[in-house]
Every structure is written in C-alpha cells, then in structure tokens.
Amino acid sequence: MSTMKLNLAILGNLVKVYGAPLYGATSVEDAGTIGASEYTVIDNNTLMVVADGNTMYFPIRRSVVDAGFEAERVFTIGIFEAERDASGERDGIAWSVTKGARKVFAY
C-alpha cells in the first residue's frame, strides 16, 4: 500500500505529470535474449549490440532502468504496443506515438 500523498494541483505547474504508462506492461512478442558478453550499455538506458557486422540499439524499459540492473543481466528483447496516443517533446525534439504502434525494448 502506498503512503504517498502529493498535491498534484500544486505540482502540476512545476513537474510533468505523465499519467498511465504509454506501452503495455508485457511484450506482445519476444525476439530473444542477449547475454552480458553480447551487449554494451550506453548511458545506462540503451543496449548496443553488434552482430554479423550490424550495430543495433535497443532502449531499456524505464521500469528496468529505475529498478537498477546487475552488470551481468541477461536481457530479453521484446516488442511492446502503445496503449494510447501520445505526443511531446524531449531534449527539443518533438515526438508522437499512435495507439497500437509497436516499439522494441530490452527488459
């Protein structure tokens, strides 16, 4: 049970209130796993994988980043589906997502 009691009316002008998570809690399809010797963590939130001469980048799910993860973690690469339309701006770059759009994450 949460004991957090925040006055969002006051905080709403000072912080971004996001609401419900954008992507579903479980993947709609998994593409496989990656062991620690097969990836490099970049900026603590992205996996870089080099395979067969190709470089791929997979964002790590925010819930995994926030919880922290061990250096030897085996990540699953999964496809997640957006549960609602959303748009915004991050670091000066506009973005938008349509409900049902799919995105690949490491988790």
Taking the C-alpha atoms of residue 17 and residue 85, their distance in angstroms, rounded to an integer, is 16
Length of the chain, in residues: 107
Nearest to residue 50, comparing CAs of 38, 41, 37, 58? 38
Give the Cα-Cα-Cα angle 93, 94, 100 (nearest 5 degrees). Answer: 130
Taking the C-alpha atoms of residue 79 and residue 99, their distance in angstroms, rounded to an integer, is 14
Give the confidence band of 90 by pLDDT, cuts at 50, 70, 90: confident
How much is the pTM? 0.76
Q: For residue range 50-87, what is the model confidence (pLDDT) as tens digits? A: 988 999 999 999 999 999 999 899 999 999 999 999 99
